[in-house]
């Protein structure tokens, strides 16, 4: 009997270090990553533009086969107006209206002019309007409720000051714009005790109007007792400043 023996030898393959793919895998990964980043950058930065349309110039060409008649307008000139025809015969119209003659009298002096004597004329004397200053008047005007006061001049000043404080009202617009100052006022106490013309002078018209409003509210009933000079009632001017000052 033959015995056959088979001897198998396992050969361990040896790797070639130059053909080892794992050796350059990191480099291939970096190259691939760079390619992907480059493609992403190109995709993000890619710009598109609208295409230009070129129109055919034939669209603007006129078809010569179409013939149109140009309308003709006739302008008619306006004929000049006919001159008026002169009448062949002139008729004379009779004027039946009577003529009124105006008699103009001469104003020149003649020998027959009557001379008037001064005694024949009635002379009407109009008394001059007397205005006496507050300082020099003999009897000053008397404010209501000052009749029994000994110093009527001081009582008048006191009552005027009280009247101004009672009726004083600062204009709202003047407060908003910061307007302030002093308004010099003067009013006339007439011969019947009423308040006459009110004069004012101040830094602004708003303050002047308020000052006039205050003085126009001076008592009318009962009236003031008018001032007197030599026993005759006269007009007396009174001046007083009104100060507008913001707190």
Q: Which domains does the chain have, with CATH numbers?
A: 152-244 (3.30.2420)
CB atoms within 10 A of CB 162: 11
Dist CA 207 CA 181 (whole Å): 8
Check: CB of residue 134 under 8 Å from CB of residue 228. no
The predicted pLDDT at position 206 comes to: 92
Structure tokens at 211: 């000052």
Do 195 and 143 contact (CB within 8 A), yes or no?
A: no
Pairing of strands 232-233, 181-189: unpaired
Q: What is the full per-residue pLDDT of the chain (247 aa) written as tens digits?
A: 444 444 544 444 555 666 666 667 788 888 888 998 989 888 888 877 666 555 555 555 556 665 666 666 566 667 777 777 655 555 555 555 565 656 555 566 666 666 656 555 565 565 567 788 888 999 999 999 998 999 999 999 999 999 999 999 999 998 889 999 999 999 999 999 999 899 999 999 999 999 999 999 998 878 899 999 998 999 999 999 999 988 7
Q: What is the pTM of this model?
A: 0.48
Query: Rounded to 5 degrees, what are φ and ψ at 161?
Result: -60, -40
First and final CA of the chain: distance in angstroms? 145
In the prediction, which pLDDT does 226 show? Answer: 92
- For residue 4, what pLDDT is reported? 46
DSSP the chain: ------------PPPPGGG-GGGGHHHHHHHHHHHHHHHHHHHHH----PPPP---GGGGPPPTT---PPP-PPPPPPPPPPPPPPPSSPPPPP--SPPPPPPPPP-S--TTPPPPPGGGSPPPPPPPPPB--TTT-SB--B-TT-TT-S-HHHHHHHHHHHHHHHH----HHHHHTT--EEEEEEEEE-TTS-EEEEEEE-SSHHHHHHHHHHHHTS--SSPPBPPEETTEE-BEEEEEEEEE---
Task: Please count the other Cβ atoms lying within 10 Å of the Cβ belonging to residue 137.
Answer: 17
pLDDT of residue 99: 59
Cross-strand bridge partners of residue 147:
none
* pLDDT attached to residue 6: 47
């Amino acid at each position: 009997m033959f015995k056959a023996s088979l001897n198998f030898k396992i050969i361990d393959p040896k790797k070639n270090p130059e053909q080892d793919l794992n050796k350059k895998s990191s480099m291939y990964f970096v190259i691939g990553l760079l390619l992907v980043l480059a493609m992403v950058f190109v995709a993000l930065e890619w710009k598109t533009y609208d295409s230009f349309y070129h129109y055919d110039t034939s669209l603007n060409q006129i078809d010569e086969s179409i013939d149109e008649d140009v309308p003709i307008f006739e302008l008619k000139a306006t004929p000049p107006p006919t001159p008026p025809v002169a009448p062949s015969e002139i008729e004379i119209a009779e004027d039946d209206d009577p003529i009124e003659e105006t008699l103009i009298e001469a104003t020149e002096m003649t020998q027959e002019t009557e001379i008037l004597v001064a005694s024949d004329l009635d002379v009407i004397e109009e008394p001059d309007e007397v205005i006496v200053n507050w300082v020099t008047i003999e009897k000053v005007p008397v404010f209501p409720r000052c009749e029994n006061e000994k110093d009527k001049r001081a009582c008048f000043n006191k009552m005027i000051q009280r009247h101004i404080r009672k009726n004083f009202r600062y204009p709202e617009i003047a407060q908003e714009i910061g307007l302030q100052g002093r308004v010099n006022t003067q009013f006339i106490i007439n011969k019947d005790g009423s308040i006459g013309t009110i004069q004012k002078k101040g830094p602004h018209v708003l303050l002047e109007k308020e000052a006039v409003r205050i003085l126009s509210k001076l008592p009318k009933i009962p009236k003031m007792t008018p001032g007197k000079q030599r026993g005759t009632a006269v007009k007396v001017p009174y001046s007083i400043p009104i100060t507008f000052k913001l707190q």
